[in-house]
Structure 1
């Protein structure tokens, strides 16, 4: 559309014409769904090669350091790959040769990619006056030059993900059709002259921090997409401005609805007439003063006047201050609604009747502080109706309902399609869950201590996450009775009972097992289980000092063990030939995992943190490539391990342990020459980084220094020549000297092409 290829046909908008073109290209396999991301599309390889031939000199992809000289003066459409091996100055150097360029797009730019802005925006905007499409998405950009106003041909401007705080006046960009400011988290105001962008069709301001809308938004009558509207208090930016925007499509979020004074103002937004809106979010701000009173009748009338068109598919209501909902919410005429979220309606004492919404698939109810009963009205006002309540509902979530006591599930055969049920932070809820959920596949219960221990009949359940003594006992009992034959993932937590859990009773289908805060649970080793791939033990299974549970699961791939204070050793007497990841943290008594070296020959990732008594000596372990470990007194023996036994180590992270005697790191010979990346973190007393300890690391490419508040010196000649990245974070002394390019320090790091301080690239 920005290149003016989409010409309206009859009453069709350019967007509708573009949709037809897109569908045609899909039908002809010119474009295909992306294999890894369902929201993206890609060209078929053969089509791409053919397109490259036809594109000729008019299209150019800037990807490598040396290819700038190849850019032809005929180039009109230019993209640059941020992963390419070149500084942005190389691109700026050819601006005079491509001054008639109409498109500049970046590819794959993110905060993790070294990218120095220099004076790129000023140069680009001063020389490329013919631009129709300009994207600075993801640039570390804090401001935009006023010269942006000189790009009078510009139709598409993307500043998403930048650090911009304010925008210059854009009113002279009278051809601008699309302005994208998605995730500009520092942006608080839009320019006063926004009302002059009369050709604007798409304005994306999601995840910004706008305080209010600029005045005169009603003048932007061509707007097809407005992601958000933040209601102001002044006459020029009230909710009434929305009424004139009759062509809005897709989704809109309306925030700060507390600024709507009465239902008359709300009706002037004319939401019922906006048949193109498929997703609507209505938000009231949470009060800082919880005692602020509101008239529940006025609040209900206001929400009543925000009644949307029946074409609506998704609805979210957050922070509504009334005590009851208007009748349109839940009316069967809304037969397109598939997703409904009600959140933070703290004065509501009852839920709307939602059971007869025929297409509703996803329902979330969060933070209803006054609600005590979910009664029969929830299923539908007409109980004589023969229709099944919630006929299409697939996911149902209740969270943070501190006063909720009763759920009248009734014998209505409701929820026949329910696949996912989540209930969290409902401490007063008692009674039973719905008895029969024939389609249920996932059940999660958290902080619901008074809820009945019985489980619904759910023969297809695949994932269970249950908390509390009675629920855990019920799950173990159901497992032992073979009632959960389809289970693939099980999480049990916060059980203080003595429970015997036989390995032989575990469903053959189970692949993931998490046991959290069940200190008295004992797994009975009465057989082997061959399907389990992931095991997570946290603050549990304290019956033995020798942890031998791994022998029961020979096909494990990942093991996580945390906060098991009594555990002194991890023992494996049988082969664990598939084990790749082992993460053990904060097990204060742990001394040895030596038998794992021979049992797990494919171990690649090892993390040992918060285990001060640990001894890692043992047989050679050449497969290990990643090691995360605490600095401690045994580091000398660890160094010997890394150099003689783990010669394939490529990534090492060392965490501090508040050892006041350690002032400099690392010592010579501690680290293996195979290292490609090194992280030094939480070294609270280390003051100096030793170049000699790193000099032999000829393969080292990346060095991270994180949370080292006293580290400010680098001793020795310089850091390894192989380094391509140095990143520091929350290390103020070192960060400041890097930013100031302190001569004593800079000579030792200036050869590194990419230097980052607290998420900002400085070199």
Structure 2
């Protein structure tokens, strides 16, 4: 083991970490084998990630000293690659293994030598039936998952990354302990009907499955399903209505650019707390039943909307709202009825010219982010009434040339960020009234030529970061020691 960097290992009482220095690389090799064995005897977790891999003999000599090993991460690259024989060794010499992460990054990235196949996985599945967590980034030589995966009766959370797998074996339905299934497989074309047999499945995640054309109706039989996430599945144009009828579902994450509709039946999702409809839904319309999701706490919308649905204010449990609707022209004045709303992000709403005066009446708002609002011309004076606001970000608002003076009444504000506002010429006077302000960042605001002297009296202010504000020539004397400045100004 002296020729390679030391593995990272951990236990409840101690840990060993690899280092780039030549002296530390040889540390473990210099320790007596007897002490080494005693130390490794307490180890339950081992990370064999390294630049140039590890040979089979090195692997055996390492793990044989760790009889209590329950967690192993192997992410090898270089000349000593993962092989079927190497995987078989894992199955043989790690008798208590419960968590295995097996990544050969070169193989997954498309290197020329393909030495890890489905046969290696078969040997692992047949021997390591007590594994609970399994993460696989398969080599291009892994063309299918062996049916022997059904023998891993204790498997709870598999994560499968594969470029060539086109289907999952029907035998996967025999994994009765399965709680979460994560699949990223661009050539996957279908899911097995046996998914309905996974009676304990709580989370199903499909990501990057660009050839997937359908989801089976059988998913409606997953009575314990709490979270369903489908992202970057570009061929998928519809989901069965049963997906939107599961009364136990708490999280629904959809990033499907070709999805045509959401059904009215989604009102049945009475336990739904998190809904993300994101990226590319230019033709998608929200059903009227959408506003009946009374348990919803987190909502992200990237859809083709000119206005929010009527009755939007009935989402009274909402705590986090992100709007990324490029056609949105205005926000409803009824926003304050979202009395629990803590986080509001308005991003890429190019048609939005102003915000409603009632925005200052959001009683619980702590974070406000205004980002890429190209036509926003002003902020309402009422923004100064947000007494719970802790963080305010104003980014890429091209036509915003002035900030309201009421901004200085945000007594709880701790973080203020103003970036890429090219017409903005100054900050409000009376900055000393921001008694809680700890962090101020200005970047790429070429019109700002000075900071108000009152900023020197912000007692809580710890750091001011200024980047590419080339017209800024003077900094108040009292705060220069707190300024981190990266621009060619003459102060």
- Secondary structure at 1:539 match in 2: strand
Q: Which residue of 2 aligns with 1:486?
A: 224
* 1:303 and 2:113 matched: no
Q: Which residue of 1 aligns with 2:277?
A: 537
* 1:584 and 2:323 matched: yes
Aligned CA distance change for structure 1 residues 472 and 693 (closer, same or farther; 3 Å): farther
Q: Which residue of 1 aligns with 2:25?
A: 230
Aligned CA distance change for structure 1 residues 400 and 720 (closer, same or farther; 3 Å): farther
Aligned CA distance change for structure 1 residues 284 and 719 (closer, same or farther; 3 Å): closer
1:337 to 69, 76, 79: 69
Question: Is the CA contact 1:520–1:540 (under 8 Å) kept in the aligned structure 2?
Answer: no
In the aligned structure 2, how far is the partner of 1:732 from the partner of 1:249?
Answer: 56
Cα drift, residue 465 of structure 1: 0.5
In the aligned structure 2, how far is the partner of 1:418 from the partner of 1:505?
Answer: 27
In the aligned structure 1, how far is the partner of 2:420 from the partner of 2:254?
Answer: 32
* 1:510 and 2:265 matched: no
- Secondary structure at 1:588 match in 2: coil
- Secondary structure at 1:538 match in 2: strand
In the aligned structure 1, how far is the partner of 2:418 from the partner of 2:41?
Answer: 54
- Secondary structure at 1:681 match in 2: strand
Give CA-to-partner distance per residue, 1:82-141, whole Å, 9 cap, x none: xxxxxxxxxxxxxxxxxxxxxxxxxxxxxxxxxxxxxxxxxxxxxxxxxxxxxxxxxxxx
In the aligned structure 2, how far is the partner of 1:451 from the partner of 1:546?
Answer: 28
Q: Which residue of 1 aligns with 2:380?
A: 639
For residues 103-502 of structure 1, the aligned pairs below 5 Å read: 206=17, 210-213=20-23, 229-231=24-26, 241-242=30-31, 244=32, 246-248=34-36, 279-282=45-48, 284-286=50-52, 300=55, 303=58, 307-308=61-62, 310=64, 312-313=66-67, 336-345=68-77, 347-350=81-84, 351-353=86-88, 354-355=90-91, 357-367=94-104, 369=107, 370-371=114-115, 373-375=117-119, 378-379=122-123, 389-399=127-137, 401-410=139-148, 413-424=150-161, 426-433=162-169, 434-435=171-172, 436-450=174-188, 452-454=190-192, 456=195, 457-467=197-207, 468=209, 471=212, 473-475=214-216, 477-479=217-219, 482-493=220-231, 494-499=233-238, 501-502=240-241
Cα drift, residue 746 of structure 1: 3.7
Q: Which residue of 2 aligns with 1:123?
A: none
Q: Which residue of 2 aligns with 1:558?
A: 298
- Secondary structure at 1:509 match in 2: coil
Give the TM-score normalised by structure 1. Answer: 0.52
In the aligned structure 1, how far is the partner of 2:277 from the partner of 2:121?
Answer: 43
User: In terms of Rg, which structure is larger?
Assistant: 1
Give CA-to-partner distance per residue, 1:35-67, whole Å, 9 cap, x none: xxxxxxxxxxxxxxxxxxxxxxxxxxxxxxxxx
Question: Is the CA contact 2:153–2:176 (under 8 Å) kept in the aligned structure 1?
Answer: yes
Aligned CA distance change for structure 1 residues 380 and 670 (closer, same or farther; 3 Å): closer
In the aligned structure 1, how far is the partner of 2:370 from the partner of 2:245?
Answer: 33
Question: Is the CA contact 1:363–1:393 (under 8 Å) kept in the aligned structure 2?
Answer: yes
Cα drift, residue 545 of structure 1: 5.3
Aligned CA distance change for structure 1 residues 689 and 724 (closer, same or farther; 3 Å): farther
Question: Is the CA contact 1:642–1:649 (under 8 Å) kept in the aligned structure 2?
Answer: no
Q: Which residue of 2 aligns with 1:725?
A: 461
Question: Is the CA contact 2:425–2:448 (under 8 Å) kept in the aligned structure 1?
Answer: yes
- Secondary structure at 2:101 match in 1: strand
Q: Which residues of structure 2 form unaligned runs of 5+?
A: 1-7, 108-113, 487-491
Give CA-to-partner distance per residue, 1:471-501, whole Å, 9 cap, x none: 57225x223xx32110011101224343155
- Secondary structure at 1:340 match in 2: strand
1:525 to 236, 256, 264: 264
Aligned CA distance change for structure 1 residues 422 and 375 (closer, same or farther; 3 Å): same
Question: Is the CA contact 1:515–1:540 (under 8 Å) kept in the aligned structure 2?
Answer: no
Cα drift, residue 717 of structure 1: 3.1
In the aligned structure 2, how far is the partner of 1:301 from the partner of 1:464?
Answer: 35
Cα drift, residue 414 of structure 1: 0.8
Cα drift, residue 689 of structure 1: 4.3
Give CA-to-partner distance per residue, 1:277-307, whole Å, 9 cap, x none: 66555454249xxxxxxxxxxx747526x61
- Secondary structure at 2:416 match in 1: strand
Bigger relative contact order, structure 1 or 2 (CA pairs below 8 A, ≥6 apart): 2
In the aligned structure 2, how far is the partner of 1:380 from the partner of 1:626?
Answer: 48
Question: Is the CA contact 1:698–1:720 (under 8 Å) kept in the aligned structure 2?
Answer: no
In the aligned structure 2, how far is the partner of 1:711 from the partner of 1:728?
Answer: 18
Question: Is the CA contact 2:262–2:287 (under 8 Å) kept in the aligned structure 1?
Answer: no
Cα drift, residue 589 of structure 1: 0.9
Cα drift, residue 559 of structure 1: 0.8
Aligned CA distance change for structure 1 residues 460 and 371 (closer, same or farther; 3 Å): farther
Aligned CA distance change for structure 1 residues 211 and 400 (closer, same or farther; 3 Å): farther
Q: Which residue of 1 aligns with 2:450?
A: 714
In the aligned structure 2, how far is the partner of 1:504 from the partner of 1:448?
Answer: 22
In the aligned structure 1, how far is the partner of 2:250 from the partner of 2:242?
Answer: 13
- Secondary structure at 1:685 match in 2: coil
Give CA-to-partner distance per residue, 1:651-702, whole Å, 9 cap, x none: 342333263x76x76453455444523422322636864352635x354423
Q: Which residues of structure 1 form unaligned runs of 5+?
A: 1-181, 183-201, 214-228, 232-236, 252-273, 288-298, 314-335, 382-387
Aligned CA distance change for structure 1 residues 495 and 284 (closer, same or farther; 3 Å): closer
Higher normalized helix content (fraction of residues): 2
Question: Is the CA contact 1:453–1:470 (under 8 Å) kept in the aligned structure 2?
Answer: no
Q: Which residue of 2 aligns with 1:13?
A: none
In the aligned structure 1, how far is the partner of 2:478 from the partner of 2:121?
Answer: 72
In the aligned structure 2, how far is the partner of 1:500 from the partner of 1:408?
Answer: 28
Cα drift, residue 397 of structure 1: 1.0
- Secondary structure at 1:499 match in 2: coil
Give the TM-score normalised by structure 2. Answer: 0.77
2:356 to 617, 621, 630: 617
RMSD across aligned C-alpha pairs, in angstroms? Answer: 4.0
